[in-house]
Amino acid sequence: LSVALSGAVLARCPSCARNFAAMHCRNTCSPDQSLFTNVTRVANASGVPGALAVLEYQVFYRRRYAE
């Protein structure tokens, strides 16, 4: 859903929309997240005892990847 919303905002730049979607997928689905992601804030997940939800995180990328 969030990727679809960004597509509407970035509609004038298809390559920007694709790059944003790729970055979003890497941030949320990469099996190597622990190498570049630092969770900075969590909260109790509603309806799931003992489960936590990530509210905020930092992502670290090499300059070359970001460019």
Give 2-49 pLDDT, tens digit per residue.
666 666 777 888 888 888 888 888 888 899 989 989 999 999 988 888
Entry pTM: 0.60
53 is a domain residue: yes
CB-based contacts of 11, cutoff 8 Å, min separation 6: 17
The per-residue pLDDT for 56 is 94
Number of domains the chain contains: 2
Residue 50 has pLDDT above 80, yes or no: yes
67 is a domain residue: no
43 is a domain residue: yes
What residue numbers bound the domain in which 25 lies? 1-30
